[in-house]
Amino acid sequence: MAEIEPDEESGDESIGDLFGRLVDDAKGFGQAEIDYYRTLVRERLRAAKTSLWMGAVAMSLALAASVALVVGLVLTLAPLVGPGWATLIVVTAALGLASLMGWLAWQQLKRVMGELP
């Protein structure tokens, strides 16, 4: 059986041709969507990388300030109780505060994860 050619003047196309164009258009649309989301993810990763870098610098500066505070406390207490006792007092207080904050963070994490009522 001979295939009937579409009439070029009337613009009629066969169902197969229309379906083929539909598939090609859908592929193009899908590729455009993939490219869009790929670009979006790259931009967000770039922004996140910059934020993480700035956060690391901020944490480093905060740690340096904390060390300076601890040294200052030891030097302030040293004339009153001696350098050994001053160091012991400051280290004990710092470890106590760190333990309390760690325990509170653990309790909050357990609450968020649903282990505690």
Could you read off the pLDDT of 7-51 as tens digits, one per residue? Answer: 555 567 888 888 889 999 999 999 999 999 999 999 888 888 888
Average pLDDT for 80-91: 94
Whether 15 and 7 have beta carbons less than 8 Å apart is answered as: no
Angle between helices 83-113 and 15-81 (to 10 degrees): 150
Count the domains in the chain.
Answer: 1
The reply to whether 7 falls in a domain is no
Please enumerate in sequence order all residues whose Cβ is within 8 A of that of 108, keeping only pairs 6 or more positions apart, or say none: none
The reply to whether 30 falls in a domain is yes
- Predicted TM-score (pTM) of this structure: 0.52
The reply to whether 9 falls in a domain is no
The reply to whether 60 falls in a domain is yes
The reply to whether 42 falls in a domain is yes
The reply to whether 3 falls in a domain is no
C-alpha span between 22 and 73 (Å, rounded): 75
The pLDDT of residue 1 is above 50:
no
| Full residue range of the structural domain in which residue 84 is found | 15-113
The reply to whether 58 falls in a domain is yes
The pLDDT of residue 84 is above 90:
yes
Whether 77 and 86 have beta carbons less than 8 Å apart is answered as: yes
